């Protein structure tokens, strides 16, 4: 049964995406569920009233998780498809998220023509903008300071995910 059919590129990539989404999704969602249940247990109103009053968590946390998984997964898959060494790929991902975002934010805040568009390259801000919009937090990220709204971050994530799917699929098809 294990080798009942040949492994295709799409099957392999689908399994990689499913494994990544399962592990990273669990890392994002499980602590939120534990926190929500813990807050319900210590609530002055009682467990059931607290759970009923905070039902919006049931869709906000998964949407936020999906934004993080989508963007981070797309970047991880692109980098791992072009970099053979795991450690170097991990360092490149961390550098892109931390240093690249900081550099893009600094350049985006500069006063020259078109600098506001560079603020969109502060990659890790986009899932955070969506999260803060859903939960009502008010943090000014570079894209927001440049005048972009939350829908721009949603479009940015969708474009990056589509580009990653096309790029990684074509790269694996060429290698197969």
**Model pLDDT, residue 3:** 63
Calculate the CA dihedral of residues 163, 169, 170, 175 and round it to 10 degrees. 140
Closest to 24 in 3D by CA, of 59, 67, 53: 67
pLDDT (tens digit, 9 = 90+) per residue, 129-154?
999 999 988 778 888 888 889 999 99
Judge whether 127 and 71 are in contact, CB under 8 Å. Answer: yes
**Model pLDDT, residue 146:** 82
Judge whether 24 and 73 are in contact, CB under 8 Å. Answer: yes
pLDDT (tens digit, 9 = 90+) per residue, 148-169?
899 999 999 999 999 999 999 9
Higher pLDDT, 5 or 135: 135
Q: Please give the average per-residue pLDDT across 7-15, as a whole number.
A: 89
Half-sphere exposure of 150 (CA within 13 A, CB side): 15
What's the Rg (C-alpha) of the chain? 19
Helix (H) or strand (E) holding 49: helix 47-53
> 112: which 2 tokens?
């020259």
Contacts of 118 (CB under 8 A, 6+ apart): 104, 107, 108
- Three-class DSSP category at 8: coil
Contacts of 40 (CB under 8 A, 6+ apart): 47, 50, 51, 54
Q: Please give the average per-residue pLDDT across 12-19, as a whole number.
A: 92
Q: Please give the average per-residue pLDDT across 101-128, as a whole number.
A: 83
Q: Report the predicted TM-score, pTM, of the whole model to 2 decimal places.
A: 0.86
Judge whether 58 and 36 are in contact, CB under 8 Å. Answer: no
Q: Is the pLDDT of residue 2 over 70?
A: no
Is the CA virtual torsion 70, 74, 80, 83 positive or negative? negative
How far is Cα 95 from Cα 71, in angstroms, rounded to an integer?
A: 15
> 61: which 2 tokens?
């946390």
Determine how many CB atoms are found less than 10 A away from the CB of residue 93. Answer: 18
**Model pLDDT, residue 1:** 53
Binned at pLDDT 50, 70 and 90, residue 176 comes out as confident
pLDDT (tens digit, 9 = 90+) per residue, 55-110?
888 899 999 999 999 999 999 999 999 999 999 999 999 998 888 888 887 887 77
């Amino acid at each position: 049964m294990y080798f009942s059919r040949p492994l295709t590129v799409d099957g392999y990539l689908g399994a990689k995406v499913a494994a990544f989404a399962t592990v990273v999704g669990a890392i994002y969602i499980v602590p939120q569920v534990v926190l929500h249940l813990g807050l319900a247990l210590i609530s002055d109103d009682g467990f059931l009233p607290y759970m009923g009053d905070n039902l919006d968590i049931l869709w906000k946390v998964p949407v936020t998780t999906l934004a993080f998984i989508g963007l981070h997964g797309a970047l991880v898959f692109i980098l791992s498809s072009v970099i053979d060494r795991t450690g170097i790929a991990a360092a490149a991902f961390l550098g892109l998220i931390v240093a690249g975002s900081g550099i893009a934010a600094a350049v985006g805040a500069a006063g020259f023509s078109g600098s506001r568009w560079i603020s969109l390259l502060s990659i890790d801000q986009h899932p955070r903008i969506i999260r803060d919009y859903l939960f009502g937090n008010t943090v000014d990220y570079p894209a927001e300071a440049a005048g972009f709204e939350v829908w721009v971050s949603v479009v940015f994530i969708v474009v990056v995910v589509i580009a990653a799917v096309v790029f990684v699929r074509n790269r694996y098809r060429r290698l197969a």
